[in-house]
Amino acid sequence: MTAQVKDRIAGIYADGWSRIVATMIRFTGGDWDLAEECAQDAFTKALQRWPESGVPDQPLAWLTTTARHRAIDRMRRASNEAAKLREVAAMDLEPPPYLSDGEIPDERLELMFTCCHPSLNLDAQVALTLRSLVGMSTAEIARAFLVPERTMGQRIFRAKQKVAHAGIPFRVPPGHLLPDRLPAVLHVVYLLFNEGYGDPQKARLCREAIRLARVVTKLMPDEPEAQGLLALMLLHDARRPARVDPAGDLVTLDEQDRTLWDQAQIAEGATICERALRQGRAGPFQLQAAIAACHATAPVAAQTDWPQIVGLYAHLARIAPSPIVELNRAVAIGMVSGPEAALRLVETIAESGQLNDYYLLHATRADLLRRAGRAEDAADHYRSALDLAPSEAERRFLRNRLRPH
Amino acid sequence: MKYLMLVCTDPNYTPGQDDGAPDVEDWVEEMDGKGIRLMGNRTRPASDATTVRVRNREVLLTDGPYAETKDQIAGFDILECADLDEAIDVASKHPMAWAGMIELRPFWPDDED
């Protein structure tokens, strides 16, 4: 019984924390610390009481009401300060009417746009998002980003101070600001995902990023890029079990065991991606998701629809040009038209000098040279890639390629 | 909320980047009219500045600005805005946001002196 209740509370925490914090930020007039403290307090009370009393029918309402009572209590006690007294006097201190779960306003989007306001630096946006929306503790966030807990605590403290002092509004930006502001939110979510994707120890960040993207798509159903991001992450995440072999080595896409892929998640990602693209406002996330869907829905690597991938990369290069997109386009061209055609594009990228320190430029070039039968040139570029590779797993992979087969 | 809007020159600015920048007179007229701009002025260059410090009850003066930076304050405005988003919008319409840079500093609230 108790273990079951604890599991249910954990489930309610995962979705409910940010909703209660958002409601409480509004309720306290922008006091983030008090809002979090009251939300924490409500969950602590739930953990104490629910194992005996059972989980209430409307758990979110119970938690919100408990958090509000706590806030009123705290504000009353603080009312010896003149400023607080005026605030409290202006508020209705009667216990708020009991709302059902369905009546609790969902202000998670407001919270998300506030956490990701571009006047905060990116590190602050990420930290604030993990604390307020995901409900991770300062210690957990510090571990995820390999910084001392004290440093992370100060970062979150400063970010909250800036939100309050600089007058960052707690709202979903009006339409004319959305084209600037929504990408900032999506960027932070994708950054969390990528942070978790490279490291099995941080898999939680991927789950939380997907959960946040689901919130955005649910509350902003008319934003195809939000759907594109959700689809992209679902499609990547579905391949997670096959990305690393039992020895911890990276497995390339074409060599992955496709039976390990999560087919239900791939189907969901592909459906969301299609639905987004049908709105006729293709953006970088939707196109990347469409490319990921081409890979993920191929029954075997040899049946990958490379011509379509070439077209998608060309589209992506038009709306969001970058040398990395060009490099990926070259790889796709190599699969359709052969290594020589791809090498011409790779050489153009190399001449631009923009990716000279990027190991995948050299690794890709080496791979194409190998396939074109130019083994010696290939070896030179594998060695350059080896010098620049960022992790041991990648270096092992490249050393294997250098070994004569 | 009140914001101090510091209008600064940008040493890295290259002419031509401000094509289409709004006119400063229009900006002043619009923001005065909306009750957003409470006051403001251009300031003389840093070479005309005097820095004042009192140390051991002695008034110490320095010829020039307090900090040797290449970007210099060219003027200031005091804004009354609903929130930071409005202040950013107002600042981005000022021609010196195009040809220089603008720093927004929120005021301490009146009752927290």
Is B58 or B12 the better-scoring residue by pLDDT? B58
Stretch A147-166: mean pLDDT:
95
Buried/exposed code over A206-226 (b: 16+ C-beta within 10 A; e: otherwise): bbbbbbbbbbbbebbeebbbb
* A331-364 tens-digit pLDDT: 999 999 999 999 999 999 999 988 988 999 999 9
Q: Which residues in chain A have Cβ-Cβ distances shorter than 8 Å to B103?
A: none
A128 Cα to chain B: minimum distance (Å)? 18
Kindly report the length of chain B. 113
Q: Which residues of chain A does B102 touch, with a Cβ-Cβ cutoff of 8 Å?
A: none
Q: Which residues of A touch B85 (CB under 8 A)?
A: 168-169, 173, 177
Q: Do B83 and A119 touch (CB under 8 A)?
A: no
Inter-chain touch A83–B87, beta carbons under 8 Å: no
For B110, the closest chain A residue by CA position comes to A83
Q: How confident is the model at residue A229 (pLDDT cuts 50, 70, 90)?
A: very high
Distance from the Cα of residue B9 to its chain's centroid: 10
Asked whether A177 and B86 are in contact (CB, 8 A), the reply is: no
Which residues of chain B are within 8 Å of residue A166 when distances are taken between CB atoms? 84, 104, 106
A167–B112: do the CB atoms touch at under 8 Å?
Answer: no
Identify the pLDDT of residue A81. Answer: 62
Confidence band of B26 (pLDDT split at 50, 70, 90): very high
Q: Assign B20 a pLDDT band (cuts: 50, 70, 90).
A: confident
Q: Which letter, b or e, does each residue of B85-102 get, where b requires 16 or more Cβ atoms within 10 Å of its Cβ?
A: bbbbebbeebbbbbbbbb
pLDDT at A401: 81
Residue of B nearest to A117 (CA): B85
B96: which residues sit within 8 A by CB, 6+ positions away?
A: B7, B8, B9, B24, B74, B75, B102
* Rg from Cα positions in chain B: 16
In single-letter form, the type of residue at position B8 comes to C
Can you tell me the distance from the alpha carbon of A277 to that of A261, in angstroms, rounded to the nearest whole number? 24
Q: Specify the pLDDT at position A83.
A: 61
In this structure, what CATH number is given to the domain that contains residue B23? 3.30.70.1060
Q: Please check the confidence at residue A393 and state whether its pLDDT lies above 90.
A: no
pLDDT, position B34: 97
Is A168 in contact with B111 (Cβ distance < 8 A)? no
pLDDT value of residue A216: 94
Percent of all residues in chain A with a pLDDT value above 90, rounded to a whole number: 70
User: Which residues form the domain of B9?
Assistant: 2-112
User: What is the pairing mode between strands B100-106 and B73-80?
Assistant: unpaired
B106–A165: do the CB atoms touch at under 8 Å? yes
Mean pLDDT rounded to a whole number for chain A: 90
| Cα–Cα distance, A56 to A97 (Å, whole number) | 17
Contact A216, A209 (CB under 8 A): no
**Residue A218 or A83, more confident:** A218
pLDDT at A308 over 80: yes
Three-class SS state of A103: helix
The C-alpha atoms of residue A228 and residue A38 are separated, in whole angstroms, by 35
Q: Return d(Cα A261, Cα A266) in angstroms, integer.
A: 8
Residue A96 has pLDDT above 60, yes or no: no
Whole-number pLDDT of residue B47: 85
Helices (H), A198-297: 203-219, 224-238, 240-243, 263-277, 284-296
pLDDT score of A136 more than 50 = yes
| The pLDDT of residue B113 | 44
Q: Which residues of B touch A173 (CB under 8 A)?
A: 85
Task: Find, in chain B, the residue whose alpha carbon is nearest to that of A169.
Answer: B83
Q: How does pLDDT run across A122-132, given as a tens digit for each residue?
A: 999 999 999 99
Half-sphere exposure for A245 (CA within 13 Å, toward CB) = 13
Mean pLDDT of A13-34: 91
Query: Which positions in chain A touch B84 (Cβ < 8 Å)?
Result: 117, 119, 166-169
Contact across the interface for A169 and B111, Cβ inside 8 Å: no
Taking residues A42-50, report their average pLDDT: 93
Q: Using pLDDT thresholds of 50, 70 and 90, give the confidence band for residue B72.
A: confident
| Confidence band for A287, pLDDT divided at 50, 70 and 90 | very high
Please state the rounded mean pLDDT for residues B37-53: 92
Pick from A82, A83, A173: which is nearest to B85 by CB? A173
Q: How many domains does chain B have?
A: 1
Question: Which residue has 């990408």 as its token pair?
Answer: A183
Closest partner CB to B111 (pick from A83, A119, A167): A83
- CA A137 from centroid of its chain's CA atoms: 17
> Is pLDDT above 70 for A372?
yes
Nearest CB to B84: which of A82, A83, A167? A167
Assessment of whether the complete model's pTM goes beyond 0.90: no
Residue of A nearest to B3 (CA): A166
Q: What share of chain A is helix, strand, coil (3-state, %, to 5)?
A: 75, 0, 25
Decide if A159 touches B, using CB distance below 8 A: no
User: Cβ of A166 under 8 Å from any chain B Cβ?
Assistant: yes
Q: What pLDDT sits at residue A405?
A: 57
The tokens describing B42, both together, are 């251009």
Say what the pLDDT of residue A404 is.
Answer: 65
- Residue A97 pLDDT class (50, 70, 90 cuts): low
Strand partners, B62: B51
- Nearest by CB to residue B83, choosing from A82, A83, A167, is A167
On the question of pLDDT at B46 being above 70, the answer is yes
CA A129 to chain centre: 10
Any idea which residue has 């020895």 for tokens? Answer: A247
Query: What pLDDT score was predicted for residue B70?
Result: 67
Q: Which CATH number fits domain A305-405: 1.25.40.10, 3.30.420.40, 3.40.50.300, 2.30.140.10?
A: 1.25.40.10
pLDDT at A91 over 70: no
Tell me how crowded residue A314 is: count the other CB atoms within 10 A of its CB: 14
Of A117, A167, A169, the CB nearest to B106: A167
Q: How many CA atoms lie within 13 A of B111 on its CB side?
A: 7
Determine the pLDDT at residue A23.
93
Chain B residues near residue A82 by CB distance under 8 angstroms: 111
